[in-house]
Amino acid sequence: MEIGFIDVLITVIFLLALAIPGFIFAKLKMLPEKTAEAISTIVLYCCQSVLVITSFQKKAFEPEIGLNMLYVMLLAVAVHFIVFIVLKFVFIKKSAEDKIKVVKYAGVFSNCGFMGFPFLQSLFSGEAQAETLIYGAAVIAVFNLLNWTFGVYIMTGDKKQVSAKKILLNPVIISLVIGFVLFIALQKPLVEIAPQDSFWDSILEKFMQSMNYLAEMVTPCSMIVVGIRLANVNVKSLFMDKWAYVSAFFKLIVMSLLSILIVAFLPVDTTVKYTVFFLLSMPSATSTAMFAVKFGKDGDFASVCVLLSTVLSVITIPLLYLVISGVFGINIV
């Protein structure tokens, strides 16, 4: 398949269009107060975890894929740390301010799970989709590892707040381990293990069908949460806070361009390059608001940062795709 500018633009637009039901129902006061939190919990602890596992069940094991996963993880770590160093020097005189801590966190961490994974699902198909989802799972694992260590430190400035338990018991990390172990152990998708048309073949096929139903819930549920949160933010504050634009600039422009520069000239598979680029070009992570509230920072401002970057990503992701595909000549065919 060949991916073009229009494909990327339409994917972003229709993906965010799924937020409309959540926005409308929230505005009409038809949803309970904790709806967004409840749906987020289901997505994180169930649907997204299942999606990570099933992403490894799309194709047979290949040693090259395991090596590419390592490349993806190393590239993701490198980009996160470089952007943080840039932010640290830019705001060196304001590093103690609570609002700046939120800006730095929002400028570093991407919404790679709730928006990035659904984006990859929508944009790619066939073999390309199977591989990008596997590499996407690796990026999300890096996000979770850094989020509960590096991210906590950014938001609090206190190393004692870092929790090893949060890392080890993170559902996405556990799911990645399970998925990868099955990927290596089985050497082929679960549905291909039993003889065709046998009793166990039917059982495994129905089982994977049920798992896929849960996995496919990630996209609509994640976007509904975005719509609910957008409905609860004052429009004026969404577009008038200069610091929210600063965080969006670093997240959507600086991090995206850095991702392009890092992956463009590396001798790695094209799907690796696009997975890193797209997932790290996503808007600010939804955990920005969660961490802000948890650690006593400005939760309302954090929500504005997340939502503003989400709205602006409709423009930035397609345009920066033109840069990586046009200037650097990276194309998936």
Model confidence, pTM: 0.85
Q: Which domains does the chain have, with CATH numbers?
A: 5-327 (1.20.1530)
State how far the Cα of 58 lies from the Cα of 255, in Å rounded to an integer.
Answer: 30
Which pLDDT does position 278 carry in this prediction? 93
Type of residue at 83? V
Which pLDDT does position 24 carry in this prediction? 93
Which pLDDT does position 333 carry in this prediction? 45
First to last CA, the chain: 5
The parts of the chain modelled with pLDDT lower than 70 are 1-2, 95-96, 161, 163-164, 235, 237, 327-333
Helical segments of 1-124, H only: 5-17, 20-27, 35-42, 48-55, 63-90, 98-108, 117-123
Residue 316: which of 245, 236, 237 has the closest Cα? 245
State how far the Cα of 106 lies from the Cα of 251, in Å rounded to an integer.
Answer: 7
Which pLDDT does position 327 carry in this prediction? 64
